[in-house]
Amino acid sequence: MNNRIDHKLYSKEDKPVKFSEDMLKRIGEIILHYPRERRRSVLLPLLHIAQQELGGYLSVDVMDYVASLLDIHPIEVYEVATFYSMFHLEPVGKYVIEVCRTGPCSICGSERIVDQLEKILGIKTGETTPDGLFTLKTVECLGSCGTAPVMQVNTVFYESLTSENIIQIIGDLKNQGNNKPLETKWVDLF
Amino acid sequence: MGRLVLTDKIGIKGIRDIEVYRAHGGYSSLVKAIKEMTPADVNREVTKSGLRGRGGAGFPTGLKWSFLDRKSDKPRYLVCNADESEPGTFKDRYLMEHLPHLLIEGLIISSFALGVRNCYIYIRGEFRYIMKILQQAIHEAYQQKFLGENILGSGYSLDIFLHPGGGAYICGEETAMLESLEGKRGNPRIKPPFPAYKGLYDCPTVVNNVETLATVVPIIEMGGDAYAEIGKGKSTGTKLISACGNINKPGVYEIELGLPVEDFIYSEEYCGGIRNGKRLKAVVPGGSSVPVLPAELILHTLKGEQRLMTYESLAEGGFDSGTMLGSGGFIVYDEDACMVRNTWNFTRFYRHESCGQCSPCREGTAWMEPVLWRIEHGKGKYSDIDLLVSIADKIEGNTICPFGDAAAWPVSSAIRHFRPEFEFHIEHPEIVRNIYHGSLVNYPVSGIQYR
């Protein structure tokens, strides 16, 4: 993907990363969805789980750990993690706001929503607020064109955005502050 | 109101629950297929129905199923394509969200017909809340013995697993999807061999769209012949159309194929006309990849016939004056939409989503996007227009998968039908630079007709 090739891989920090025993047991069950000799198939589900459980982004340490769990080379994890846009390779804010920028959302005003979010949050697209609460990104089509413009916050959809309700949404997220948002656990979805 | 065969139960309260679904006739097609029919019978009904793939290509489903290598001693797989990511398309999401059991029932009948033991639903990762709905439906189906070992005492066994994508449009292409499912980058494979022979894990595999597989349920219920009587000509049955853009009533509508496009756009039953009393400028009727048509050509063919919502009628006139039904992602543009800006936007999408394997697509989209950007921002040259046409021509047909064509068509069709607007941008940089995300409706762009 063209505008992703200059992604730098952060150097290894050698921080210990590890799933809990319960989590490992559950992952062991998910692996059984695939043939024994093809267990690498579980890589995408496993990266989703790892991103959510092990720090919010895929650090080199996390990717190396995932590689060791599947007994594959680290590069086989890096090449996959860099291909898919849902994986963050750098630290992100607690709430990752991703606004759809593609055609149908665009003609229904998503560009204005992005401009407004940049103003409200005081950051540019791609940046994280200094308090570490919000990261603002744009993404391609989220498959919700009938309720455009649309954004997702940590893959929770917010639809039919307007310049009014966007203020409310950000306000509510701010008030939740550091409370853990109600989110579906990836590991519970298989 | 057109006939509803797919979404007739959608308004029933609690229909996501298996008991409610069954109380309204749900899973009766499955019981019929497993108890009264052989796999060959099911295949025959699907072939007779004339059902065509609802993901975008419109390939006859019965024929696709007939290609499956049944002589191989390897396991066979069915992969349900729920990676819905074609801009303008949100019909599968609607179906899965509201009628999850219809999809599960369709998957079981189709797997039975194909002799599949393990079936995967590859769903785009962003649809996490829909995974939760499907997971619940799968769980309920296991409880009622519609899934698992020895389904309804027939000796047939099936497991269905959910597999999330990671945010990559290209994984909707069937061989990229198989690569992704195997835990790799979503790079499409060179065909042949086709998935019917060497698909998932090098085993015989069928990949079908959500809507296609769900449609198997009413086909078994009413019989292939009865289904084929709905619709028009070779466009049999009904189709979900997801309508969006500048219309009064965006949403998902089940239509009988053959409905006039004009009725779809203007009738209160469907889109309800153009929003804010504006005029119609253009339509992309089948997801961002299909050619855009100006108002007059989407309503009537060049011969002056009424344009219909069928595979054939929308394609009438070839790419000179026609388009495609595609995935049914129906995007409507009003008079304020800037076709240059829209083309730039779509090309940015394709540039971002190109997997990077084939040079024409990787390099071509990365050239077209900045050229379109500079035209849109008042920095273009006359020669840029022909440059774009030339790049698009060089991408089309020269890539492993249809993504290259999909990236080229929006550009070449926009220039074919809206060239004066591109020229206006080049001739009047001072105007286009000062319009905020702008409309050109009040400027004298010659040759653009509104309806």
Instruction: Check pLDDT > 90 for residue B448.
Output: no
**How much is the average pLDDT of B14-38?**
97
d(CA B201, CA B351): 29
- For domain B232-334, which architecture applies? Roll (3.10)
Give the model's pLDDT for residue B290: 96
Share of chain B above pLDDT 70, in %: 99
CATH number of B339-433: 1.20.1440.230
Same topology, domains B18-229 and B232-334? Answer is no
Give the model's pLDDT for residue A95: 93
Is residue A186 classed as helix, strand or coil in its secondary structure? helix
In angstroms, the separation between the Cα of residue A41 and the nearest Cα of chain B is 4
Q: Kindly indicate the confidence band of residue B451, based on its pLDDT and cuts at 50, 70 and 90.
A: confident
**How much is the average pLDDT of B221-237?**
97
Cα–Cα nearest to A69, from A45, A33, A52: A45
Taking contacts as CB-CB distances below 8 angstroms, the residues of chain A near B251 are 146
d(CA B263, CA B260): 5
Measured at the CA of B61, the angle between CA B237 and CA B219, to 5 degrees, comes to 45
Cα–Cα nearest to B109, from B29, B54, B165, B164: B29
Q: Tell me the domain boundaries of chain B.
A: 18-229, 232-334, 339-433
Q: Kindly indicate the confidence band of residue B2, based on its pLDDT and cuts at 50, 70 and 90.
A: confident
Number of H helices, E strands in chain B: 19, 11
Give the model's pLDDT for residue B438: 67
Quick: pLDDT tens for B159-198.
Answer: 999 999 999 999 999 999 999 999 999 999 999 999 999 9
**How much is the average pLDDT of A99-108?**
94
**How much is the average pLDDT of B17-34?**
98
In angstroms, the separation between the Cα of residue B52 and the nearest Cα of chain A is 22
- Single-letter code of the amino acid located at A53: E
Cα–Cα nearest to B180, from A59, A87, A154, A89: A87
- Cβ contact A42:A33 at 8 Å: yes
Contacts of B11 (CB under 8 A, 6+ apart): none
Contacts of B332 (CB under 8 A, 6+ apart): B243, B244, B245, B246, B247, B265, B271, B274, B280, B283
Share of chain B above pLDDT 90, in %: 94
Distances in whole angstroms, Cα of residue B297 to Cα of each of B280, B292, B300, B305, B306? 11, 10, 5, 10, 10
DSSP type of residue A39: G
- Does B161 contact A33 at a Cβ distance shorter than 8 Å? yes
- Does A145 contact B244 at a Cβ distance shorter than 8 Å? yes
Pick the CATH number of B18-229 from 3.40.640.10, 3.10.450.30, 3.10.310.10, 3.40.50.11540: 3.40.50.11540
Instruction: Check pLDDT > 70 for residue B71.
Output: yes
Kindly give the pairing relationship between strand A95-100 and strand A134-139: parallel
Buried b / exposed e over B141-159, threshold 16 CB at 10 Å, is beeeebbeeebeeeebebb
Quick: pLDDT tens for B400-422.
Answer: 999 999 999 999 999 999 999 99
Quick: pLDDT tens for B204-219.
Answer: 999 999 999 999 999 9
Domains defined for chain A, CATH in brackets = 11-81 (1.10.10.1590), 95-176 (3.40.30.10)
Instruction: Check pLDDT > 70 for residue B30.
Output: yes
Quick: pLDDT tens for B287-330.
Answer: 999 999 999 999 999 999 999 999 999 999 999 999 999 999 99
Give the model's pLDDT for residue B130: 96
Quick: pLDDT tens for B326-363.
Answer: 999 999 999 999 999 999 999 999 999 999 999 999 99
Give the model's pLDDT for residue A3: 42
Residue recorded with tokens 């796999």: B39
- Cβ contact B248:B263 at 8 Å: no
Q: Kindly indicate the confidence band of residue B449, based on its pLDDT and cuts at 50, 70 and 90.
A: confident
pTM attached to this predicted model:
0.95
Instruction: Check pLDDT > 60 for residue B380.
Output: yes
- Does B168 contact A184 at a Cβ distance shorter than 8 Å? no
Say which residue, A179 or B148, is predicted with more confidence. Answer: B148
Q: How many CB pairs under 8 A join A and B?
A: 169
DSSP type of residue B310: S
- Cβ contact B125:A48 at 8 Å: yes
Give the model's pLDDT for residue B192: 96
**How much is the average pLDDT of A125-129?**
96
- Does B250 contact A147 at a Cβ distance shorter than 8 Å? yes
User: CA-nearest residue of chain A to B358?
Assistant: A1
Give the model's pLDDT for residue B439: 77
In angstroms, the separation between the Cα of residue A10 and the nearest Cα of chain B is 20
**How much is the average pLDDT of B228-254?**
97
Mean pLDDT, chain B, integer: 96
